[in-house]
Amino acid sequence: MLKLVEALMMIANAIERNAVATERIASVLEERELPETGNKQQAATVLGVSLRTLERYQGQWIEGIHYTYEGTKPTYNLALLRDWKANRNNKKAHQRAIEIWQRNLLSNQKKRA
């Protein structure tokens, strides 16, 4: 019984350390003030690819999520492209990032009375 309590305490401590680290990372990212959207050149720079490769990748993305059109020019969601680059081989992780991004849109916020 004592070992079980010790194990639970260790798990609780690990969860607390993880929460503190996650909060620290989030605050650093907020301070960096990375642009949320960008043009073709900025998107290619974020991904570290050429403009031609960016155009090929665009076929793997969702219009309205990863990019939108302002007239005839695409505007890219740089935050989601960064996540896509990091999670190209983990579609579930990237889908979670998309869902979080969508939940945080102003249009999806509850109206205040």
C-alpha 18: how far from its chain's center?
19
What pLDDT does residue 60 have?
92
Its pTM stands at: 0.62
Instruction: Give me the residue spans of the domains in the chain.
Output: 1-33, 36-113
What pLDDT does residue 51 have?
95
Mean pLDDT per segment of 10 residues, for the chain of length 113 residues? 86 86 69 73 94 94 92 93 91 90 74 62
| Rounded-to-integer distance, Cα 94 and Cα 102, Å | 12
Contacts of 77 (CB under 8 A, 6+ apart): 36, 37, 65, 66, 67, 68, 101
Instruction: Give 36-113's CATH code, choosing from 3.40.50, 1.10.260, 1.10.10, 1.10.287.
Output: 1.10.10
What pLDDT does residue 18 have?
82
- Residue 77 burial (CB count, 10 A): 22
